[in-house]
Amino acid sequence: MGISGLQMMEKERRWTHTRWLAGVLVLAVVVMARPQAANAHGEAADQPFLKNLTTAFYDVQISPTMIEVGQPVTITGTVRILSTWPYTLSAPETAYITPVVPGPVFALTDRTVNGEIAPGSIFVERGQSYQFKMVMVGRIPGRYHVHPGIAVQGTGTLVGPGEWITIEPSAVAFSYPVTLLSGKTINLEDYGTSFVWWWSFAGFVLGVIWMVYWTVPKPTVTRLAVTSQLPVNDDAPDIGLITRTDHFWMNVLAGLAIIMLVGGWIYIGARYPVRLPQQTIRTSTEFVDSGPHIAEARATGAASYDAGNATLTMKFAVKNVSSSPITVKQFIMAMTTFVNGGAEERRNAGPPHYVGELSVEPNTAIAAGDTQNVVLKIKSGLFAEERLIPEHDPQQVIAGLLRVANAQGQQELVTVKSTVMPTEFRAQYLP
Ligand SMILES: [Cu+2]
């Protein structure tokens, strides 16, 4: 093969390369040009056990649902870290209760957990409940789905029920005044923004110069086959790998980086002589009183789930250990609440989309000291929408809270766990 043959091959190779690049580019444009409105926070993608065995959110209220920029929205509710927390996940120890919103469209101004101020993470325990209150103010106009969530270290963020919130534009620009310990008030919305931006940008530019220097005109990367043959500390100036000029320019870049660093220290020291390190606050909250012990419950057989008509049927033996009759009021699973009651009780149970009806049979009060076998039936599209029920898992288990109340208005949320069997089986050819 002559020189021209080699050139032809090189041309061909480049052309294939160009076509491949063009293909990737077209694909990227197609993917990016067709954005779909996001209607959830991706929780449906999580495995069912990750939702129903870990936590249960109840009594969640998110209001008001229509505000103007600068006005507050309050999220209240309770999350229980279930005692059924899966052994396949790392134990829940540190967690962070947070609003789950699409980006910085709100500013969180206040958060309490079990009545205590909780600016950061908290230590948590299985079986305990965490009553939360979060206040956030509207920042960027739009319509957003807002959930409370609990981010558990080692597991991820588990979300509660959500509500659509509309932020209308306001005549007044958003501001977030904060009073410093010195007594001076600053606007957190734009405080130091331009300095932070330009300073970061300067560091970025330095990094880009370094990267381009070594990748575009230099053969360091493209001749990997050659460089990989050289000893680690061989600059190989004889083959033009790293020359004296390169050393010079790298020293200049390193010098600039050091000047930026030292300059930054001097500037900070002179401009802000009084400083406090950023605070890391970890608190263990007092546990909320879970109320009197009035009932016990356990599964008396496998639950069944019929995906065809979206119906979950569970069997429990409920024992009344109080001195007055009790009734089963709700079944709470992950971010959903199913209510044995009227429209009013459903309205109070949480954001309407995540509330459904619960049928209890027999729906009669359980006398003091008695144990009654009850069948709980729920028909709801939420099971499929949120992917709550395992239908094809190595552990076919669900868990939740049974809310039981007596005539005196006392109530208890009893953790229940049950095996669940699907009633429909579909062919599955891929794992
Ligand atoms: Cu959502």
Give tens-digit pLDDT for 257-304: 999 999 999 999 999 898 888 888 888 877 776 778 999 999 999 999
Give tens-digit pLDDT for 18-61: 666 777 777 777 666 655 555 566 778 888 999 999 999 999 99
Mean pLDDT of 367-382: 95
pLDDT at 147: 96
pLDDT at 77: 97
User: Which residues face 58 on adjacent strands?
Assistant: 78
* d(CA 40, ligand 1 centre) in Å: 4
Statement: the pTM of the whole predicted model exceeds 0.85: no
* d(CA 162, ligand 1 centre) in Å: 5
* d(CA 130, ligand 1 centre) in Å: 21
CB 168 within 8 A of CB 67: yes
The alpha helices in 119-192, defined as continuous H runs, are none
Within a 13 Å sphere around the CA of 6, how many CA atoms are in the beta-carbon half? Answer: 3
* d(CA 27, ligand 1 centre) in Å: 28
* d(CA 145, ligand 1 centre) in Å: 5
* d(CA 257, ligand 1 centre) in Å: 43
3 state SS of 87: coil
Say which residues have a Cβ less than 8 Å from residue 302's Cβ, sequence separation at least 6. Answer: 315, 418, 419, 420, 421
Please state, rounded to an integer, the average pLDDT across all residues of the chain: 89
From CA 54, how far away is CA 89, in angstroms rounded?
A: 9
All domains of the chain in start order, with CATH: 43-181 (2.60.120.570), 209-271 (no CATH), 295-422 (2.60.40.1580)
Least confident of 10-24, 223-237, 263-277, 402-416: 10-24
* d(CA 37, ligand 1 centre) in Å: 11
In 3D space, the residue among 79, 107, 109, 106 whose CA is nearest the CA of residue 95 turns out to be 79
pLDDT at 284: 81
* d(CA 12, ligand 1 centre) in Å: 50
* d(CA 334, ligand 1 centre) in Å: 14
pLDDT at 7: 56
Which is higher by pLDDT, 205 or 11?
205
Please tell me which of 226-230, 281-285, 386-390, 425-429 the model is most confident about, judged by mean pLDDT: 386-390
Which is higher by pLDDT, 301 or 8?
301
The alpha helices in 304-370, defined as continuous H runs, are 343-348
Give tens-digit pLDDT for 309-358: 999 999 999 999 999 999 999 999 999 999 999 999 999 999 999 999 99
In 3D space, the residue among 46, 54, 287, 49 whose CA is nearest the CA of residue 152 turns out to be 54
CB 402 within 8 A of CB 416: yes
* d(CA 38, ligand 1 centre) in Å: 8
* d(CA 228, ligand 1 centre) in Å: 50
From CA 414, how far away is CA 318, in angstroms rounded?
A: 10
* d(CA 115, ligand 1 centre) in Å: 26
* d(CA 144, ligand 1 centre) in Å: 8
Quickly state the pLDDT bin for 2 (edges 50, 70, 90): very low
* d(CA 402, ligand 1 centre) in Å: 25
* d(CA 64, ligand 1 centre) in Å: 16
* d(CA 98, ligand 1 centre) in Å: 13
Q: Supply the DSSP symbol for 90.
A: P
Give tens-digit pLDDT for 87-145: 999 999 999 999 999 999 999 999 999 999 999 999 999 999 999 999 999 999 999 99
* d(CA 100, ligand 1 centre) in Å: 8
What angle, 0 to 180 degrees and rounded to 10, lies between the N-to-C axes of helices 193-215 and 244-271? 170
CB 164 within 8 A of CB 143: yes
pLDDT at 238: 77
Say which residues have a Cβ less than 8 Å from residue 303's Cβ, sequence separation at least 6. Answer: 312, 313, 314, 315, 398, 418, 419, 420, 421
Angle at CA of residue 138, ends 137 and 142, nearest 5°: 160
* d(CA 70, ligand 1 centre) in Å: 22
pLDDT of 76 over the 60 cut: yes
Neighbours of ion ligand 1 (CB under 5 A): 40-41, 145, 162
pLDDT at 285: 79
CB 290 within 8 A of CB 131: no
pLDDT of 239 over the 80 cut: no
* d(CA 315, ligand 1 centre) in Å: 31
Torsion of CA 384, 337, 367, 408, to 10 degrees: 180
pLDDT of 67 over the 80 cut: yes
* d(CA 102, ligand 1 centre) in Å: 9
Exposed, middle or buried, 343 (CB in 10 Å: 0-12/13-18/19+)? Answer: exposed
What percent of the chain is modeled with pLDDT above 70? 91
From CA 7, how far away is CA 268, in angstroms rounded?
A: 58
Within a 13 Å sphere around the CA of 125, how many CA atoms are in the beta-carbon half? Answer: 8
pLDDT at 74: 98
Strands 142-152 and 94-100, how do they pair?
antiparallel
* d(CA 60, ligand 1 centre) in Å: 14
